[in-house]
């Protein structure tokens, strides 16, 4: 059980909740703080003009709303902004959005009753997720459109995802004996104003991005084994003279993975302690950059993920509503905590970093496909009859085109602000768009890595070296061969790519 409000949530706790390993509960002290915050707003707002309680919204805030219409105002806001289009977010992202919104509301700065957070908790624990569409938000007053769909589900309208089916919210609530939210104050605005959609998507992106770094490290290690590369490029001595944490960590991971490999070579033994008399060397003295510079390439990607995690965890544990209800200072503060620039910028940086990872995988794959470069295995890792069979030739096209798509998608959203909302929102973050593009880049990169891994397996089998792999890479080899058997005769590969991709998404190589 993960307790919300007891302390800052971290990424490992989010991952456990998302994978269904943990349910959530709300700490009793937070329930008391929320109650006090709600009670304060109830009496403080009497006879005062406060945005979103007795005013319209956005550029219509100059219109005062009569007390008799204030509940309808909240419902009108939710229904009018439930205008998203495009694909429905997959369940894991819907769940992440709900966790992010719940945790933000549990900062007790939104003036809501406990019924809001209790309902969110119950829906998450019962795997009932209000439908949210990809397109709609500009990330300025937060994720208004996406979170309006969340609010729509909470009031029992629209659709929810339950047991991997989209169903009317009212029907699912009846089945689970759950009462929908009855608005009593500013709940509509409190649920909708915030960065929880881009943050939730971003948290899943971070979890998957770290898996990509881990799998890319393993793929790089296996490729180094396959071609009997020298081991000094990931040595402690070489990498410690560079001050970057990520580079050092990647090099250390490679050493841990390959420590018992019988395939990598020691330069001292091979070149320094032997007298070399040939003028033209058959073996390369140094490997190509895609093999030799892995710590320097994956290092900054790892550092980017580390910093992005710090930013997103700060956002996750922040109040990003407007206005902020401060029951301690006994005041209501208007501002822009809903603005999504922090998330937008980090997602742009992350998608650039992951695009570079896909480029590394594509270049390593190209090296493996070209016998003139690797000098070890037949063209396209073809274990059949050359000319008659094609090996991995067809899937290389897929990897190349997918990497090219990543390169286009990695252009930033952060600087693509378009004024809207009668110029009330005159500069916006596009944070959810940035997070969604990063999601696509990550999905693409799993495909490229899958194709690379499949090709490496074919190369290992051609050389018959599986018994010489390190203990760690041999486990990965065996696990992937269970779902993608060795082949010689040509068969469609799209199903194999899909299975390998799902395996990489669902697993971490160190846990294989």
Give the residue numbers marked as catalytic: 51
- Bridge partners of 135, per DSSP, are 85
Alpha helices (runs of H) in 338-430, residue ranges in sequence order: 341-369, 371-374, 393-409
CA distance 197 to 466: 45
CA distance 260 to 265: 12
Task: With H, G, I as helix, E, B as strand and everything else as coil, classify residue 321.
Answer: coil
Residue pair 230/122 in contact (Cβ under 8 Å)? The answer is: no
By 3-state DSSP, what share of the chain in percent is helix, strand and coil, each rounded to 5?
60, 10, 35
How far, CA to CA in Å, does 73 sit from each of 61, 70, 98, 322?
12, 5, 23, 16
CA distance 123 to 106: 16
CA distance 404 to 407: 5
CA distance 299 to 220: 13
Q: How many helices (H) and strands (E) does the chain have?
A: 20, 9
DSSP for residue 302 = H
The bridge status of strand 159-162 relative to strand 324-326 is unpaired
What end-to-end distance do the CA atoms of the chain give, in Å?
A: 26
Task: With H, G, I as helix, E, B as strand and everything else as coil, classify residue 223.
Answer: helix
Angle between helices 294-316 and 11-18 (to 10 degrees): 80
């Amino acid at each position: 059980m993960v307790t919300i409000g007891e302390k800052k949530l971290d990424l490992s706790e989010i991952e456990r909740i998302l994978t269904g390993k943990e349910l959530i509960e709300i700490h009793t002290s937070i329930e008391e703080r929320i109650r006090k915050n709600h009670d304060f707003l109830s009496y403080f707002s009497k006879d005062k003009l406060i945005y979103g309680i007795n005013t319209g919204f956005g550029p219509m805030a100059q219109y005062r709303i009569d007390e008799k219409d204030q509940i309808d105002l909240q419902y009108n806001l939710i229904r009018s902004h439930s205008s998203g289009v495009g694909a429905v977010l997959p369940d894991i992202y819907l769940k992440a959005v709900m966790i992010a919104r719940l945790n933000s509301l549990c900062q007790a700065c939104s003036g809501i009753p406990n019924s809001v957070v209790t309902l969110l908790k119950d829906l998450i624990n019962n795997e009932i997720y209000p439908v949210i569409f990809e397109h709609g938000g500009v990330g300025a007053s937060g994720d208004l459109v996406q979170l309006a769909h969340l609010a729509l589900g909470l009031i029992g309208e629209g659709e929810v995802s339950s047991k991997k089916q989209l169903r009317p919210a009212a029907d699912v609530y009846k089945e689970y004996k759950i009462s929908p939210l009855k608005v009593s104050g500013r709940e509509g605005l409190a649920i909708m104003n915030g960065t929880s959609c881009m943050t939730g998507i971003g948290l899943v992106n971070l979890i998957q991005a770290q898996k990509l770094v881990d799998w890319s490290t393993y793929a790089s290690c296996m490729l180094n084994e396959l071609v009997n590369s020298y081991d000094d490029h990931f040595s402690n001595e070489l990498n410690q003279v560079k001050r970057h944490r990520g580079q050092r960590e990647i090099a250390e991971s490679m050493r841990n993975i390959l420590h018992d490999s019988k395939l990598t070579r020691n330069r001292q033994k091979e070149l320094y302690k032997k007298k070399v008399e040939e003028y033209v060397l058959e073996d390369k003295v140094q490997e190509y950059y895609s093999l030799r510079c892995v710590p320097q390439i994956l290092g900054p990607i790892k550092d980017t993920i580390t910093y992005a995690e710090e930013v997103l965890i700060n956002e996750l544990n922040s109040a990003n509503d407007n206005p902020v209800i401060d029951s301690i200072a006994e005041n209501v503060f208007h501002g822009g905590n809903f603005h999504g620039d922090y998330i937008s910028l980090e997602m742009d940086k992350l998608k650039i970093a992951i695009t570079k990872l896909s480029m590394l995988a594509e270049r390593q794959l190209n090296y493996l496909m070209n016998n003139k470069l690797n000098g070890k295995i037949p063209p396209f890792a073809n274990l059949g009859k050359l000319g008659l069979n094609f090996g991995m030739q067809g899937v290389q096209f897929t990897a190349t085109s997918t990497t090219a798509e990543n390169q286009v998608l990695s252009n930033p959203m952060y600087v693509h602000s378009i004024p809207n909302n009668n110029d009330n929102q005159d500069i916006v973050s596009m944070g959810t768009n940035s997070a969604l593009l990063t999601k696509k880049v990550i999905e693409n990169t799993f495909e490229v890595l899958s194709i690379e891994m499949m090709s490496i397996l074919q190369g290992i089998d051609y050389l018959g070296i599986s018994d010489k792999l390190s203990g760690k890479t041999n486990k990965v080899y065996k696990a992937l061969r269970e779902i993608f058997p060795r082949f010689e005769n040509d068969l469609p590969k799209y199903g194999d790519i899909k299975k390998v991709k799902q395996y990489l998404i669902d697993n971490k190589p160190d846990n294989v």
